[in-house]
Structure 1
Amino acid sequence: MEDIRAPASLWRGARGLPQFRRLLELRAASQFGDGLFQAGLAGALLFNPDRAASPWAIAGAFTVLFLPYSVLGPFAGALLDRWDRRMVLVVANVARLVLVLGIAALLAAGAGDLPVLCTALIANGFTRFIASGLSAALPHVVPREQVVAMNALAIAVGAVAAFLGANFMLLPRWLVGTDDRGAASVIAAVAVPVAVALVLSVRFPARALGPDDTRRAIHGSALYAVTTGWVHGIRTVWARPTVAATLSGLAAHRMAFGINTLLVLVMVRHVGEHAVAGLGTTALFVAAAGAGSFLATVLTPAAVRRWGRYATANGALAAAAAIQLSAIGLYLPMLVLCGFLLGVAGQVVKLCADTAMQIDVDDALRGHVFAVQDSVFWMSFITAVAAAAAVIPPNGHAPSLVVAGTALYLLGLAAHAFIGRREPVRLQYEHGRY
């Protein structure tokens, strides 16, 4: 069992791990930029007097932004297990910087939604690629016995950074305006934290973040590694019940969170809050979920030490089902409170999933598996938003969708409880292929 320490001790422990501390700084800069970018883009497309957004338009925006990379991610994830992850982070941050500046230029020129979204989806793909790389690299800079604790610290720092970035967006939006010109200024500001992340990426020595060339590495051409990325990622997930189980629970959480997010967005827009106040209400819901995620990073290590990962994730999913049902009245303050509590429960499951992948999966396949997790994370969210958009009324008052969220949590609990008890599958390897 790992040595789980109090938060203050975690910070002291991090100071003794210079490479981990550097990775932590990189994660903070990257996720601050991501929070600012996502909130700025939401303001530009959903809360902009120059543009309009129906429930289907909202679902379409989420689909364009996150579905392409979610489908292609496990293929690209093979590159994280083949190329120097440090160089991957450098190149991805350079591409992200160029694309962010391009999106700001498009908004300033008053371009339509389609070119903005298409450019944003490419930028978002690089962002998700960076996130998977950071998670896959963590065991290289942290002793095995400290992975759970330091992963919790890394997730906490990232959540706080994303929260600060998302809320910082309100300042330039208030100063410059809520139209396309104001949106362009917010997106342009994203270039600053992205540039910082780029500089921090360059500071790592070559190969310091892996991958290891073990007997389980996928050999052959780069084309072979990429085109079979889904196969290797899915097989590895299936072979590790601890990973497959927690990903099932995480998928259920993300689908319920997608339903709740659409409910809040449609309800806020229905009452006419299209400017800073409306976006602020939406940001409050997201911030509440983020605050819950932060609390989970403090609670999860102690819970895992006491009950184990399996029981901890089961308990979180059971609690989430009860919390979701309590929002059936669809009062915005109650939805915000439930967002906070579900943020706690969902992040507990995600931390258990991260730990399973960092401890139970060979480093030569870890990038594949984290890319699969990222795909599950966003495809579940998008599927739920699209399904909810098909039935939600114009005013957003749909208690049946809250009940559907509760059912999803219960299904996730059943899947996690069943799969988590399965015996690991033994994979046969031949010349690096299986």
Structure 2
Amino acid sequence: MHAWPASEVPALPGKGRDLRIHDTATGGRVTLAPGPVARIYVCGITPYDATHMGHAATYNAFDLVQRVWLDTKRQVHYVQNVTDVDDPLLERAIRDGIDWVGLAERETALFREDMTALRMLPPQHYIGAVEAIPGIVPLVERLRDSGAAYELDGDIYFSVDADPHFGKVSNYDTELMRHLSAERGGDPERPGKKNPLDPMLWMAAREGEPSWDGGSLGAGRPGWHIECVAIALDHLGMGFDVQGGGSDLIFPHHEMGASHAQTLTGEFPMAKAYVHAGMVALDGEKMSKSRGNLVFVSRLRRDGVDPAAIRLALLSHRYRDDWEWTDQVLQDAVERLGRWRAAVSRPDGPSADALVEELREALSDDLDTPTALAAVDRWAALQTAEGGTDDSAPGLVSRAVDALLGVAL
């Protein structure tokens, strides 16, 4: 599976700062100081609907992580999956009377278009669950053969009791875990499981559903969590720098994935930091495909909204915060974009050297984008009110906003 084209990231004078970011597992900030190559895995879409603003907010957050790392003169090894076979996808295909493969391909293509328009940096490895199956099967077999997994009516389940570190990503109590498991694709009430929280690793073939050769596992398809584990271990190995996604993935997805990987390798932790973006609401409720309360990136683009304004709307909120999408949020972003573009269109202006350092400091401080935007606002206001004599300033501001915030002026 191929990703989308990369937009050029301008080089800035000097060097950026190491990123201090909130780690879900420890509940506090950690300073990330990767080696020459920073490694990040971000969970991708289940492609049964177009990219909504909740998706865009999540991928924007981890695009910023990459930009901060690139500004420190590091390379970035970024991996993202596509869950191109799963119950919600199959259910949507049946509902709409279309082929599930065609649905997945169509929505993945639209996602690529949206990511390109929003100038999100692409992953080096963009892997679908289906193409990962040859690597998933041996991992499930190893877990089963080691006693960390068991068979139940043909399905294979992971035993959470096999990982002594289970629970150290979310730090949730058992009652909350059980509730979220039922809400987010698990089956805690299924009779015969050793622990209600045990997640499925391999689902035996069901009539009318797609399945693949699972070797000694029998025909079937992979569970949700082992998909990401197989892809991450294959392309990044253990102990990579950031595991990212929306806050709704803390449990069960990231908790279970960590336990799978830790049990397979005997190493801890799977990732040095677990970083999660907040949820975006509309009309008082979290945007979700199940509720249907969605604002789609593609529809905004078709309506003529500049993708740079969409990106500024996302940047106006702290990545970890839950917030609500409104027409006013977008209007404010459109007006801000206009002010910034007018400011950098002049032949000279106030010195921008201090602004670049303000942007670096704000972003290194847990991706503090509201502070970063306010710094550019001040420079633009000074440019409008007083101007300046530095003929390199407008160009430097434009390059800095592009390199660090992903907004093309």
TM-score range normalised by the length of the shorter chain: under 0.3
* Larger helix proportion of the pair: 1
Return the index of the structure with the highest Cα Rg. Answer: 2
TM-score computed with the length of structure 1 as normaliser: 0.25
TM-score computed with the length of structure 2 as normaliser: 0.26
